[in-house]
Structure 1
């Protein structure tokens, strides 16, 4: 089938038992049945429409399909003679077919097929094609030449003719007519057939874009991009920034069109939808791709073509620069241009309005007012409006995949990222105050925020707290959160030669400086809580945790002859890593605006599946950065859903065992750097083989500031944990792909992506949701339908996540502030206590963002260091009862699902 209702023949054969999945395709030809004069593409109509009155219009596509059948053998023989005894050309054809098949939306009815690729290769070997392919070329060279031809050649605008120049039978006028009649013209060896008559303008644009992306991949990928080009599926859901499904079953626009036309009704609908969306979205998109009515796998020919209407029409949208895509106003024509203004108002209807702009200009316009955090939905709103207005669709007929995952990032129906402006202003105020301090022995030269909230990657950036303002500058609400998260800020002091060289003395000196800085800020009206370990400053609605970084902590080791900073004091080393990381991620977010939302979804997914203990948020940020910097075979994602899908696929498919993930954010690395990274990677693997009792660094993330992957993944995740993460990611990626293309069905919903199966653990601890520090961050209250209930606990009265702030309760603002719990998280302290009380007994899995369940998996006997003759492990029930006692007041219940295995 070629998805044509007028000229197709399909013979359904019995499956061969010895070769399951093997079918024979019969291609009929009709070389002498028809008169060529009756198949003229310009004038003849060969499809009689019963419902059409008046003069019948020419049917060039139908006529061309008959001509294709007539000259099929001649074209096949000519193509075969060109490929005969030319091995490299044959191999290049195979590569091109594999390349095209992996790109599902270009290997389709309106773009490429295997024969068309072979015909184009034949053209490139001829003098009419410039003989740009010759027998001296290798397979790889021919492949590259063909891809380059797809992407950049100007010959497409003139039409391709598969005839030697001296034997050409088609005139220039004939070629010009083909180009006028069809979107793409490839004239066959007979001079009568346009082999590309099915190819549409949008499909050809996508082909050129894919080819250009492939050239980029060939230049930038290791090993010539073999895996990216030939082994990776470029499917609809992962390629486009948003996908739209349109249900047209029973739509009057469809039923009004007859099948007895030159173009099938479904092709007409594809073009109508394409035209409407392009007119509505204008330069907000780089590409719009519309596909409908491929042959359903379960289709029976006896059911007829009416069965095709049950499948939705699929639209893929690739966004332009986000400044264009997410703008609020579209400016139309000047009202003085009467004809254009009438067209504009007719198209936009009630959305069109006449506006005066700041520069004094008056123009027709459409306005899409929305909150800043909802701007990613503007494309959806425009598309839905245009299609419902012009195609007589209902809203329920449209499913636009744009904001379906937003639910896991919202608090009270709003994205807390909307308060980021206030956070940045608060930091700027603090930084200015710190730099102006003149009563500290050394001036503060640098103030840098380190928290992920400042680099737009925090799942829930903190919102202003009413008790974190200077004095009583804010009106107090009735209730406020008891716990406030403190945001880490790194300080550097001006240089001095008086710093001690001893690491312990250096840390004591830092503490003294911090205490002095805290006193100075307190004198200036800020609320400060200080200890020898940390200084927290409450100002402008936020809490900031101050840390001092001193470069001598790193330099001392270098002076001792060790150029590596591994042995530097841990505090300075950690601050160095975090400082470098924050700077680089901030720069990346400035280039890719979709980066932040994708990271937030990725972190939410990691936490929702209880992996918080095993992979740091910086590691997640680097993995997501990799898919933006090395997106091949795709373009960098411009939407959160597509970016999240690619994150899941990358996490599940990357070869963590044999490859380092090199994240070159600033494009700093040269061959020498890559060689050093690979040597460090091999050294880490060799070190584990020699000392198998050491922790295996399963995930190797190399950056310009950390070529040894020491900063974020040296201790975790282990090989087994990473395998589990990859397995979960693969399952989630498959579900997400299905949701994008087919939508929700039964129990498979968008929420399932963030529901983790608690039955996969040996035991589960359920916590009292109302005793968590941020209960409103919990996605789904956890429940255990199976397993043995070991213990149930009552909630404690000692802690409440909210405190009352009514005037009758608040007598002294200072005393009320003292009740604030800075950086307190009861779950984190409970986990710490469990690790101390039960070392090497079990592994703990939890959600650090908002979960009320903790998973336990028993450590193996070998891990616990037990010999076979040792006494048996204590009864798991008694252990779990002790677990409940440790978390008394917080633990709701403990359930045993599987007893530990003795190995």
Structure 2
């Protein structure tokens, strides 16, 4: 093929792939956007082959990749009877709906700028199961689907978009024409005067910025009503709301109160051993608690209390904090004596805080509760001598039991790792909170502890292939449900390598531990222990969170619920459903299998506003 022919092909087609005869362009139907997506998929497959086991065969060929799981944000445009689509004309090389796809893609690409890594616009004019015998009336009923992959959360949560410089009149005019009343001229800190758009948002609603941009752009440039633009962004937020807002908005005041407490603990000098470290253990400190505590009027240093609101929690949620003391050789050797010594230290610490800063303290043999700034901090002491496993005889069998210090140490390791992961992936926390809410709604919180849920979600962020790391709550939650439903829990251990420091020897130890647990249960398959094997750097034998539960029966039920919820969520994302009741079904558990159902009065509960679906009681 000569140079002239190549130029002709390039002018006629966005993508050119010719056979040796150079007579036919094999990619004559492919768009440049489609080719870029093909390149991304090829790069993703190479990553799977390089980083995944067995050459990435399972990730490449056996993992379901569809719109809901692949893209962070999905948008449905209802174009039924939309005249502008057909006005584009039928006598062109491209069909009118393909031209409309390109128009939508161009608008979103210009509006989202660097927020979007990739945008996929596709419109199936008829359902895949459509039969011509049903007539042509079904055409145009299917919505136009838009899938958006986010480039980075830092760009996604950006409030101000900076446009062209004010001196560039031509580009500034185009910018104002595109954004209309949203465009404004601003002076920035470096002295630059430029066009810009501002998307005001509170910290806990930053994930809605993209929704606002998409809605503004599509409504401004397309003749669509707001009801015909459905974005899958915030449909799950209702499960995390406490009244009208998300309690994560109080996290700043919680962390500030903890910092003050930590400094005061380090300043205590009237105890035999000074406090060397203070570490928070509660999930509220790592932004994975479904309901972080809000400041309670009864947990302040001042004793004056205003009138309580009707729905004020009747209980103050304690937040566990682990402290360590300076090393000393004078600690007793006996386990009981060590615990008594800890109690004496806690009582003395409480007295010191109360005498020096006037803080309200309540000490027991096990811990000390400190009330300040509306929060209750529960102090626990970790002593290194108690980290070894304690063996207790149970009949003829020796059963391994974790000491109090060992449990505290493991919880500290877990809290530190999860907190680091949350710092790397800000969406991790909201996804964990939705997953915990789902587990509790279906009555699984007793068998699936919150640390196990955090590790399951962590696996999705650490091993996302063949997908990208999830950047939205809905996508992350869907992948969590599919992980529960599709993972081979019977024959495979789930390894969560948060710090990416596992070597071949570590994987060998984990595999040996897993095989040992399965061999011990060969005679009784129904009694596999642990049924859900979660291996981490601090727990390579899965003894911390899943050693007793869920058992085989509970895991089987958990998998069934996850599969059902995943199918429903996929259907809600793809189909033209705007009814909020359908989304609530994800968190409604069937009660017809129970012999008795007890209804409790809402105002008698310790946390009345945490109810998802309050039951009305006829009095």
Q: What is the match of residue 458 of structure 2?
A: 625
Which residue number corresponds to residue 440 of structure 1? 271
Pairing partner for 1:744 from 577, 589, 603: 577
Say whether residues 1:502 and 2:342 are aligned partners: no
Residue 761 of structure 1 and its aligned partner are, at CA, apart by: 2.8
With over 3 angstroms needed to count, the CA separation of the structure-2 counterparts of 1:676 and 1:623, relative to structure 1, is same
Is 1:650 the counterpart of 2:483 in the alignment?
Answer: yes
> TM-score if structure 1 supplies the norm length?
0.65
**Residue of structure 2 in register with 1:779 after alignment:** 612
Please list the CA deviations of residues 730-776 of structure 1 after superposition, one character each: whole Å capped at 9, or x if unmatched: 00000000101114277971111000011133433332322211111
Corresponding position: 1:717 with 2:543:
no
Moved over 6 A (4+): 302-306, 473-476, 691-695, 745-748
Q: Which residue of 2 aligns with 1:485?
A: 317
Q: CA deviation at 1:302?
A: 7.3
Shift, 1:358, TM fit: 2.3
Q: Whole-Å Cα distance in 2 between the matches of residues 242 and 556 of structure 1?
A: 47
Q: Which has the larger radius of gyration?
A: 1
Task: Provide the alpha-carbon RMSD of the alignment.
Answer: 2.2
Per-residue displacement from partner, 1:852-872 (whole Å, max 9, x unpaired)? Answer: xxxxxxxxxxxxxxxxxxxxx
Give the counterpart of 1:554 among 387, 396, 420.
Answer: 387
Q: Specify whether residues 752 and 478 from structure 1 end up closer, same or farther in structure 2 by C-alpha distance, changes over 3 A only.
A: closer
Deviation at 1:515, TM superposition (A): 0.8
1:326 Cα deviation from its structure 2 partner? 1.3
CA 1:349 to 1:303, structure 2 compared with 1: closer, same or farther past 3 Å?
A: farther
2:599 partner SS: strand
> Within 5 A, what are the aligned runs for 1:447-466?
447-466=278-297
Please state whether the residue corresponding to 2:7 is helix, strand or coil: helix
Structure 2: how far apart are the matches of 1:473 and 1:397? 53
Shift of the alpha carbon at 1:400?
0.6
Cα distance, 1:587 vs structure 2:
0.8
The structural deviation recorded for 1:636 is 1.2
**1:215 and 2:46 equivalent?**
yes
Tell me the SS of whatever aligns to 1:764: coil
Match of 1:676 among 479, 504, 509: 509
Asked whether the equivalents of residues 389 and 400 of structure 2 are also in contact (C-alpha less than 8 Å), the reply is: no
2:97 aligned with 1:266, yes or no?
yes
Correspondence for 2:124 among 283, 290, 293: 293
Q: What corresponds to 2:394 in structure 1?
A: none
Give the Cα–Cα distance (whole angstroms) in 2 for the partners of residues 473 and 171 of structure 1.
Answer: 89
1:575 corresponds to: 408
* Residue 192 of structure 1, CA deviation: 2.2
Task: Give the secondary structure class of the aligned counterpart of 2:242.
Answer: coil
2:370–2:376 Cα contact (<8 Å) kept: yes
Change (3 A) 1:408 1:721: same
1:817 is matched with: none
CA distance in 2, matches of 1:475, 1:288: 53
Q: Where does residue 301 of structure 2 map in the other structure?
A: 470
CA distance in 1, matches of 2:576, 2:454: 29
Contact map agreement 2:518 2:528 (CA 8 A) in 1: no
Aligned residues of 2:125 and 2:141 also touching (Cα < 8 A) = no
Shift of 1:533: 2.5
Contact 1:744 1:750 in 2 (8 A): no
Cα distance in 2 for partners of 1:793, 1:547 equals 45
Q: Which runs of 5+ in 1 are unaligned?
A: 1-169, 559-565, 784-791, 795-903
CA distance in 2 between counterparts of 1:721 and 1:793 reads 34
Mapping of residues 778-817 of structure 1, within 5 Å: 778-782=611-615
Aligned-partner Cα distance in 2 for 1:350–1:650: 45
The equivalent residue for 1:339 is 170
Residue ranges of structure 2 left out of the alignment (5+ in a row) = 392-398
Which of the numbers 340, 352, 359 marks the counterpart of 1:520?
352
Distance in 2 (alpha carbons) for counterparts of 1:738 and 1:306: 23
Query: Aligned equivalents of 2:496 and 2:503: distance in 1?
Result: 13
- Please tell me whether residue 686 in structure 1 is matched to residue 532 in structure 2: no
Q: CA deviation at 1:647?
A: 0.2
Matched, 1:768 2:604: no
Distance 2:580 2:200 in 1: 35
Out of 315, 318, 326, the residue aligned to residue 146 of structure 2 is: 315
| 1:375 matched to 2:206 | yes
User: Counterparts of 2:211 and 2:523 in 1: how far apart (Å)?
Assistant: 56
What's 1:532 paired with? Answer: 365
Does the CA-based 8 Å contact 1:518-1:535 persist in structure 2?
yes
**Greater relative contact order structure (CA < 8 Å, 6+ sep):** 2
Asked whether the 8 Å contact 1:241–1:638 carries over to 2, the reply is: yes
Q: How many positions carry a matched residue from both structures?
A: 610
Q: Closer, same or farther in 2 for the Cα pair 1:270/1:693, shift >3 Å?
A: closer
Determine if the alignment matches structure 1 residue 424 to structure 2 residue 267. Answer: no
Q: Which residue number in structure 2 is paired with residue 227 of structure 1?
A: 58
Q: In 2, Cα distance between the equivalents of 1:557 and 1:691? A: 28
**CA–CA separation in structure 1 for the residues paired with 2:525 and 2:179:** 68
Contact 2:389/2:403, CA 8 A, preserved across alignment? no
Q: For residue 590 of structure 1, what is the aligned residue in structure 2? A: 423
Q: How far 1:294 sits from its partner (Å)?
A: 5.3
Query: Counterpart of 1:159?
Result: none
Rounded Cα–Cα distance in structure 2 between residues aligned with 1:691 and 1:275: 60
Q: Cα deviations across residues 254-293 of structure 1 (Å, max 9, x unaligned)? A: 1312211121100100100000000000001100010012
| CA drift at 1:530 | 1.4
Does 301-310 or 334-343 show the bigger shift? Answer: 301-310
- Alignment partner for residue 326 of structure 1, among 144, 157, 165? 157
What is the distance in 1 between the residues matched to 2:435 and 2:447?
14
